């Protein structure tokens, strides 16, 4: 890849990164709503599946856009939910699963807000 192409790509990636951060805000709202649903026995399974799906999406794009920490937390969340839902002997407890989701939510909210302010001040 030529230097010029690389510069253009970097510029475009910055634009996509800003869009990702804006979208992350909406996704966080959805994740917080789902987190409440997880507390309810009837809604739990579906809410966990949806949480897993959103975490999967975040994992896919966060890493490519240089937001490695969010990407890794999303991957851990997805993996933990998959194991929990598998119901196997070695699967994590509900408490452990909720703890992983909470860590993901807290860190993502923090990273999202700091990334937002960075992009505004840039």
Partner 1 sequence: MRILSVDDDPIILELLTEILASIGHTEVTTAESAAQAFELLKADCVPYDCFLLDIQMPEIDGIQLCTAIRSMPQYRRAPILMITAMSDKTYIDKAFTAGATDYVTKPFDMIELGARIRVAERLVDAQRYKTKKLVDVNQHKPTVTTEKPYFLEDKLPIDNVDGVIDYIALENYVSQLSRGSLFGSSVLAFHISDVERIFKGASAFDFECLITDVSEAITQCLMRSQFLVSYAGNGTFVCVYGSGQKHLPDSLESELSEIISSMELCYSDGRPILFKIVAGKPIRLTFRSGKTVIEALLQARSTAENGDVEFLRAPKKASLFNTYIQGRTG
Contact residues for partner 1, defined by CB under 8 A: 1, 5-6, 8-9, 12-13, 16, 19-20, 23, 53, 56-57, 59-65, 71, 75
Q: Which CB, 22 or 39, lies closer to partner 1?
A: 22
CB of 95 to partner 1, least distance (A): 25
Q: Which CB, 17 or 100, lies closer to partner 1?
A: 17
CB of 121 to partner 1, least distance (A): 23
- Whole-angstrom Cα distance, residue 13 to residue 1? 15
Q: Which CB, 95 or 112, lies closer to partner 1?
A: 112
Q: Which CB, 19 or 118, lies closer to partner 1?
A: 19
2: which DSSP letter? Answer: -
- Whole-angstrom Cα distance, residue 90 to residue 83? 8
User: Greatest CA separation found in the chain?
Assistant: 55
- The radius of gyration computed from the CA coordinates of the chain, to the nearest angstrom, equals 16
- Whole-angstrom Cα distance, residue 80 to residue 74? 10
CB of 71 to partner 1, least distance (A): 6
Count of beta carbons in the 10 Å neighbourhood of residue 84: 20
CB of 37 to partner 1, least distance (A): 18
């Amino acid at each position: 890849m030529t230097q010029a192409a690389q510069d253009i790509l970097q510029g475009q990636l910055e634009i996509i990164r800003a869009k990702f951060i804006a979208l992350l805000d909406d996704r966080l709202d959805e994740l917080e709503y789902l987190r409440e649903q997880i507390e309810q026995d009837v809604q739990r399974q579906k809410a966990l599946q949806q949480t897993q799906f959103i975490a999967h999406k975040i994992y896919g794009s966060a890493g490519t856009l240089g937001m490695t920490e969010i990407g890794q937390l999303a991957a851990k969340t997805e993996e933990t939910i998959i194991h929990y839902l598998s119901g196997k002997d070695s699967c994590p407890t509900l408490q452990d699963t909720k703890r992983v989701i909470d860590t993901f939510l807290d860190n993502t909210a923090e990273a999202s807000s700091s990334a937002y302010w960075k992009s505004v001040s840039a």
